[in-house]
Structure 1
Amino acid sequence: MPKRKNTSIKDYKLKSGKKRYEFVISLGQNSNGDRVQVHRRGFKTYAEAEAVFNKLSQTKPDNFVKQKQIKVSELRDLWFENYKTQVKESTANKNKQVFDNHVIPDFGNQYVDKITVAELQKWADMKAKQIVKYRDAINEFNALFEYGIRLNYVSENPLKRIIIPKKTSRPRRDTEHNVYTREELNQFLEVAKEYGLVQYTYFKLLSATGLRKSEALALTWQDIDLKAGTLSINKTLAYGLDNKTIIQPPKSPKSKRILPISDSLKEVLIDYKQKQKIISNKLFHTIKGTYLKMSKPDQWLKSIYAKDHEEKVKYAKTHNLKEPQPDLRHITVHGFRHTFATLLIAETNVKPKTVQMLLGHENIQMTLDIYTHVNNKNKEDAVNALKQLNI
């Protein structure tokens, strides 16, 4: 057996009789004049202890990171107090939700410097199977480690060493199916009109402008110039800290825009304004005149689909039909924005830059992705048409 040169590394025995290694190393004085001395123990082999000893021997006193100084939940709270003052309140709230739902349950009580690369790899792989936006969780946790390095709580970021999963097993909703044809849209709006004026006006507005649901909920009558036929988007609803509803600037600079209003939408808005009980300058509001919650449109949509089903079942029974007519195909609230964009591109000669302006996309690539989707659909239609023609 080769002679062990480092006399600072000593062996000792556990109660079970197993041998372990330990050492004490002095790094010198830090800038505060304090002597930095490190004691490490529990190594299974001499080589393992020597590797850590050699690494510590290269560490300057001021750069030394003590073990088990702070837990993930404690570091997150420390970091969040600073972070929330630098971003939109809605962004801070989303960040907090990501941590609360996907990081804290798994690592909240662990010391930051004791988390291993293997643990993080297993966690990242698991999140990729559980959620679509798994990269958000990884990125937020990565930012926390970087913050820990700046505060000298950890010496390195172990997340930098994992292999980021390439895809999730839970695919995003297929945009192609989360959109209505013009006929389907007309059928939906007829049902919505029977359901209620507020709900009909809201979904007519989304369908005719491509607004995001939060932008439409934030509208006031001052934002609409019925005489000029324009609509101004200058604010949006969002979830703030503690999930309270707040008003803030639009999603991005490009989201702040002025849109033309179609004659059809103009008629609906005039009728809505005349029939609405004016207790607020907001287009859509509670009985007390306050902004509605962000979840309200989803509740409306669910109720409209339920009404459609009930009416068709009732009609079938009344007319002694064995089966009721098919229900309206279900899409999401965001699907009405997709519907507007798809019909706009498919039925007009509009250019991508114009679509980008109307939708308030931050970059043209988002708009081009919609163009690609529509063009691919046109190709499929062309192939099917030629097959049917069969000349």
Structure 2
Amino acid sequence: MASFRKHTNGSWEYRIRYKDRKSNKYKEKSKRGFKTKKEAQLAAAQVEMEIDYYGFAEDGDEKTDTYFESWLEIYKKPNVKPITYSLQERNVRLNILPRWGDYKLKEINRNEYQKWINELKGHYSEGTVRRIHSINTALNDAVYEFRILRENPVTRINIPKDTMTNKVIKFFTIEELNKFLNKIKEPQKKSKYQHSIQYYALFSLIARTGLRIGEALALTWDDINFEENTLTVNKTLVYPTNSTPYLSTPKSKASLRTIKLDENTAHIMKKHKINRNEVVLKYKNYKRPETNIIFFQHDGRWLRTNVVREYFKEVCKRAGLPILSPHALRHSHAVHLLEAGVNIKYVSERLGHSSIKMTADTYLHVTKKIEDQAMDLYLRYTSI
């Protein structure tokens, strides 16, 4: 029921008392500044109708930083993988709150938000911008779960597409890859554990299988069947910054896979297994791990992903190659398979991609080359 009163400055105010269905408590909503009582009555009638429909009055006065803290704790932390939560928390902390943290939820403006997204696209890839756009999910929960907003102001925001230059992937040619692997085998005088061939085995394995670095570091000897020369991927190593590493399920269901090892790679892994035992015996401070993990540091724990990346860069420098990351070995494997004429469906399954389209889109320059070659073959055949 609405009540009205006129202030000394001549303006009118409405005040509505109602029972909030969410909390089951009585609340009030008021607004002043109307020139006439009629204007106040019309505005109050609209609000009463909306309260009757939605069961609550729109407020949105909660600060964005306060809201996101609740959203992460209540709706995300219990329901997603720790690594996913870590990425979402980092995204909120580093991207969303610096820009929107001082805003009230109701102050987030669609046009202003779209402009911000457009600006982000000038600095990040399309995928990164989409991850930053997780504010959309949070505001949906503000509408449908927390019931503190009537509508989400950032639904159906346009994320600018990547251009071809944005989507260029980095990989080694066959010649560069061989140069890289040969450089690792060269003995280093200053190396503390010169007898170890661990990094040669690790990088050879990734380059010949297309494994993600986390999948490779999580492997145990039980995952390799030397009789059939196959390797099973059923876990990944997550190494959060300043936190304890842990094993998690792979990136997607498609990432659960068993792939074939070529004879040379299988031979390298057999040699690495023997070498691991030799290294533990040769160096007094080298510990055998409690589990049968394939790759481990001198204290018996998993190899650290940041250490692997730094070593990779050092080898690139020594070999006079572009300074890439270990993920370039995965890209290299995919590109080399496609250039060799291997069926794209096989390549997609071997990489653990969720769809063939993802593989085709990622390696567009190669698949385009294959299409052109196929068309040339067709034209030659039909012109006979």
Residue 124 of structure 2 is matched in structure 1 by: 131
> CA–CA distance in 2 between the matches of 1:152 and 1:213?
42
2:348 is equivalent to residue 337 of structure 1? no
What displacement does 1:357 show?
A: 2.0
> CA–CA distance in 2 between the matches of 1:293 and 1:50?
67
CA contact (8 A) 2:316 2:324 kept: no
Alignment map for 1:271-282 (pairs within 5 Å): 271-276=271-276, 277-278=279-280, 279-280=288-289, 281-282=292-293
1:26 alignment partner, one of 16, 28, 33: 16
One-letter amino acid of the counterpart of residue 56, structure 2: F
CA contact (8 A) 2:238 2:245 kept: yes
> CA–CA distance in 1 between the matches of 2:165 and 2:31?
47
| Change over 3 Å in CA distance of 1:252–1:45 after alignment to 2 | farther
1:63 alignment partner, one of 26, 51, 55: 55
| Change over 3 Å in CA distance of 1:303–1:12 after alignment to 2 | farther
1:86 alignment partner, one of 75, 79, 102: 79
Question: TM-score, normalised on structure 1?
Answer: 0.78
221-230 or 205-214, which deviates more: 221-230
> CA–CA distance in 2 between the matches of 1:303 and 1:44?
73
2:350 is equivalent to residue 355 of structure 1? no
SS in 2 for 1:142: helix
What displacement does 1:225 show?
A: 2.2
2:217 is equivalent to residue 217 of structure 1? yes
SS in 2 for 1:130: coil
SS in 2 for 1:158: coil
What displacement does 1:119 show?
A: 3.4
1:37 alignment partner, one of 19, 28, 35: 28
Gapped regions of structure 1 (runs ≥ 5): 1-5, 14-18, 309-326, 384-391
> CA–CA distance in 1 between the matches of 2:356 and 2:93?
34
Residue 312 of structure 1 is matched in structure 2 by: none
Residue 245 of structure 2 is matched in structure 1 by: 245
What displacement does 1:171 show?
A: 5.2
One-letter amino acid of the counterpart of residue 212, structure 1: R
- Number of aligned positions between the proteins: 349
One-letter amino acid of the counterpart of residue 135, structure 2: F
Alignment map for 1:288-303 (pairs within 5 Å): 288-303=299-314
SS in 2 for 1:159: coil
Residue 319 of structure 1 is matched in structure 2 by: none
What displacement does 1:55 show?
A: 3.3
> CA–CA distance in 1 between the matches of 2:55 and 2:102?
25
> CA–CA distance in 2 between the matches of 1:141 and 1:91?
15
> CA–CA distance in 1 between the matches of 2:24 and 2:362?
63
> CA–CA distance in 2 between the matches of 1:250 and 1:282?
17
Gapped regions of structure 2 (runs ≥ 5): 189-195, 281-287, 376-384
Residue 360 of structure 2 is matched in structure 1 by: 368
One-letter amino acid of the counterpart of residue 263, structure 1: E
What displacement does 1:25 show?
A: 2.6
SS in 2 for 1:295: helix
Q: Deviations over 1:327-385 (max 9, x none)?
A: 2233332121111111112224x3222222211111121233366432433578999xx
CA contact (8 A) 1:223 1:232 kept: yes
| Change over 3 Å in CA distance of 1:355–1:29 after alignment to 2 | closer
What displacement does 1:12 show?
A: 6.0
Q: Deviations over 1:116-153 (max 9, x none)?
A: 33432333233222322212222x10111111112121
| Change over 3 Å in CA distance of 1:381–1:335 after alignment to 2 | farther
> CA–CA distance in 2 between the matches of 1:97 and 1:38?
36
> CA–CA distance in 2 between the matches of 1:286 and 1:68?
52
| Change over 3 Å in CA distance of 1:90–1:28 after alignment to 2 | closer
Residue 142 of structure 1 is matched in structure 2 by: 136
| Change over 3 Å in CA distance of 1:369–1:117 after alignment to 2 | closer
Residue 153 of structure 1 is matched in structure 2 by: 148
SS in 1 for 2:122: helix
> CA–CA distance in 2 between the matches of 1:340 and 1:47?
73
Residue 192 of structure 2 is matched in structure 1 by: none
One-letter amino acid of the counterpart of residue 291, structure 1: W
CA contact (8 A) 2:229 2:261 kept: yes
Alignment map for 1:109-258 (pairs within 5 Å): 109-132=102-125, 133-138=128-133, 140-149=134-143, 150-160=145-155, 163-167=157-161, 172=166, 174-175=168-169, 178-194=170-186, 197-239=197-239, 244-258=244-258
Q: Deviations over 1:295-336 (max 9, x none)?
A: 23321111112333xxxxxxxxxxxxxxxxxx2233332121
SS in 1 for 2:247: strand
Q: Deviations over 1:228-252 (max 9, x none)?
A: 3121111101245975422111111
> CA–CA distance in 2 between the matches of 1:179 and 1:330?
10
Residue 266 of structure 2 is matched in structure 1 by: 266
Question: TM-score, normalised on structure 2?
Answer: 0.79
CA RMSD of aligned residues (A): 3.3
What displacement does 1:205 show?
A: 0.6
SS in 1 for 2:154: helix
CA contact (8 A) 1:245 1:294 kept: no
| Change over 3 Å in CA distance of 1:335–1:25 after alignment to 2 | same
CA contact (8 A) 1:237 1:245 kept: yes
SS in 1 for 2:14: strand
